[in-house]
């Protein structure tokens, strides 16, 4: 079974530029998550989708970050404009729809973003 | 508030030593879920275990074992006879609702030297 796919793996941009990350979850996984992991810290949730609806985006900096999950499969996370503090690894994860239980999340390899 | 604390930032052991990674959590929910993930140098988070709050049975999987104690809000992870391939950052995480987000600790970087 294929895992969570993400691209690109690495991205270097200058501040104030825009960038987009792509994620393809495990087939059949209804729930998709985007996490931000700053160096030396644990991942922090940015946004959670259930199919193509947003479940939780309370920690998404909406003035510069946006995300969508068209057709309830692939997802794109965008930053516009980027700031230096956005330098981090952006992790995508997916899980089966957990109607009763918080199920294990499976993570992709991440996109390492460097903002200069 | 929900919180996970991993007080050990870095641990260094010699191969074949046993090592325990500590995890303390805080939550007001009566139903919650605890997880351990491994993050090797490649960067991908690898799922190791999930425990439900109503199941305090300890678990053993090969060289890995987990000790869940609600009385002390701890969910510790022990690696027996450590190996160099165990070198990674280990994260403890908490989720408290249906399919909800994971709250991660800061992680413990384990270095196993030959």
Whole-Å CA distances, B12 to B4, B88, B110: 22, 11, 6
Assess B16–A contact: CB distance below 8 Å, yes or no. no
- Say whether A98 and B99 touch across the interface (CB within 8 A): yes
**What is d(CA A33, CA A75) in angstroms, rounded to the nearest whole number?**
9
Residue tagged 């987009």 (tokens)? A20
CB A104 within 8 A of CB A39: no
- Say whether B98 and A98 touch across the interface (CB within 8 A): yes
- Say whether B91 and A91 touch across the interface (CB within 8 A): no
Q: Identify the pLDDT of residue B14.
A: 97
Q: Which helix (H) or strand (E) holds A88?
A: strand A88-95
Q: How confident is the model at residue A97 (pLDDT cuts 50, 70, 90)?
A: confident
CB-CB neighbors (< 8 A) of B50 in chain A: 102-104
In the structure encoding, which two tokens stand for residue A16, read together? 């104030």
Q: Identify the pLDDT of residue B99.
A: 63
| Chain A residue with the nearest C-alpha to that of B54 | A101
- The distance from CA B80 to its chain's CA centroid, rounded to whole angstroms, is 14
Which pLDDT tens digit goes with each residue over A4-29?
999 999 999 999 999 999 999 999 89
**∠ CA A113-B3-B7 to the nearest 5 degrees?**
80
Which pLDDT tens digit goes with each residue over A41-82?
999 999 999 988 999 999 999 999 999 998 889 999 999 999
**What is d(CA A9, CA A21) in angstroms, rounded to the nearest whole number?**
9
Q: Identify the pLDDT of residue A52.
A: 85
Assess A102–B contact: CB distance below 8 Å, yes or no. yes
In the predicted model, what is the mean pLDDT of chain B?
A: 93
**Residue among B109, B94, B40 at smallest CA distance from A45:** B94
- Say whether A102 and B100 touch across the interface (CB within 8 A): yes
Q: Report the pLDDT averaged over residues B23-42.
A: 93
Q: Identify the pLDDT of residue A87.
A: 98
> Could you tell me the sign of the dihedral formed by the alpha carbons of B71, A105, A97, A76, in that order?
positive
Minimal Cβ distance to B106: which of A41, A45, A55: A41
Does position B86 have pLDDT exceeding 80, yes or no? yes
Assess A91–B contact: CB distance below 8 Å, yes or no. yes
């Amino acid at each position: 079974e294929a895992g969570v796919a993400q691209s690109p793996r690495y991205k270097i941009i200058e501040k104030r530029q825009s960038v987009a990350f792509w994620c393809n979850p495990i087939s059949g996984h209804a729930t998709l998550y985007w996490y931000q992991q700053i160096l030396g810290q644990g991942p922090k949730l940015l946004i959670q989708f259930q199919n193509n609806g947003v479940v939780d985006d309370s920690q998404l900096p909406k003035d510069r970050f946006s995300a969508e999950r068209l057709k309830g499969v692939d997802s794109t996370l965008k930053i516009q404009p980027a700031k230096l503090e956005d330098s981090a690894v952006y992790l995508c994860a997916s899980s089966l729809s957990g109607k009763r239980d918080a199920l294990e999340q499976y993570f992709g390899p991440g996109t390492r973003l460097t903002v200069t | 508030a929900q919180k996970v604390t991993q007080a050990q930032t870095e641990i260094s052991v010699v191969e074949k030593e046993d090592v325990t990674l500590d995890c303390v959590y805080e939550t007001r929910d009566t139903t919650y879920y605890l997880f351990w993930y491994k993050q090797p140098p490649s960067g991908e988070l690898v799922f190791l275990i999930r425990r439900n709050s109503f199941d305090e049975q300890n678990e053993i999987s090969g060289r890995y074992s987990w000790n869940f104690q609600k009385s002390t809000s701890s969910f510790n992870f022990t690696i027996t006879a450590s190996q160099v391939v165990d070198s990674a950052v280990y994260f403890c995480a908490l989720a408290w609702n249906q399919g909800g987000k994971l709250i991660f600790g800061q992680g413990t970087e384990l270095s196993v030297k030959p």
